[in-house]
Amino acid sequence: MGESEAKSETSLKDQGNEFFKAGNYLKAAALYTQAIKKDPSNATLYSNRAAAFLHLVKLSKAIADAEMTINLKPEWEKGYFRKGCILEAMERYEDALAAFQIASKYNPQSSEVSKKIKILTQLAKDKKRTEELENMRSNVDMAKHFDALKSELVCVFCIYF
């Protein structure tokens, strides 16, 4: 890649970062996309665009970019961190927790990752408990419905016999 092309890609990334900081995630994502076209093997660009897509709640695009970040730079904690944040937004807490645990493996000193692991551990437990309670409630509702049907059948049986 020539020096002017590299500057162009870096310039696009820097402009994207400025728009991101200003909260203009759509413009930031567009600039990161342009930069990716110039340097499709740059994991940072995919990571940045994943963050922009996350803010835009374009979660399928965000997760694809997080996966690309990981594919391009598998030992970089940021890709797993991005993936974890996106999975958290999708309410896939156990998957998010797994992603944050991998991020922690590559950067055990990260307090940000440690906080996410603590939060996601609790969210995963809460979600599982909520699902268990909903299943129990559903079983109780079915039992009540069954009891009502039994009463109706007894009445029908009494009428005809």
pLDDT tens digits for 52-100? 999 999 999 999 999 999 999 999 999 999 999 999 999 999 999 999 9
Looking at every residue in the chain, the average pLDDT score rounds to 88
Q: Average pLDDT for residues 35-48, to the nearest whole number?
A: 97
CB 58 within 8 A of CB 65: no
Which letter does DSSP use for residue 109 in this model? Answer: T
Could you tell me the pLDDT band of residue 125, with boundaries at 50, 70 and 90? confident
- Residue 68 pLDDT: 99
Number of domain units in the chain = 1
Where residue 119 sits, what CATH number does that domain have?
Answer: 1.25.40.10
pLDDT tens track for 134-145? 777 776 666 666
- State the residue range of the domain holding 132: 3-160
Res 16 pLDDT > 70: yes
pTM: 0.76
- C-alpha atoms less than 13 angstroms from C-alpha of 73 in its C-beta half-sphere: 20
Say yes or no to pLDDT of 1 above 80.
no
Q: Which two tokens stand for residue 126?
A: 């809460």
Least confident among 9-23, 57-71, 122-136: 122-136
- d(CA 132, CA 27) in angstroms, rounded, equals 43
* Alpha carbons 95 and 88: distance in angstroms, whole number: 8
Question: How far out from the chain centre does Cα 12 lie?
Answer: 26
Check pLDDT > 60 for residue 12.
yes
DSSP percent split of the chain into helix, strand, coil, nearest 5? 85, 0, 15
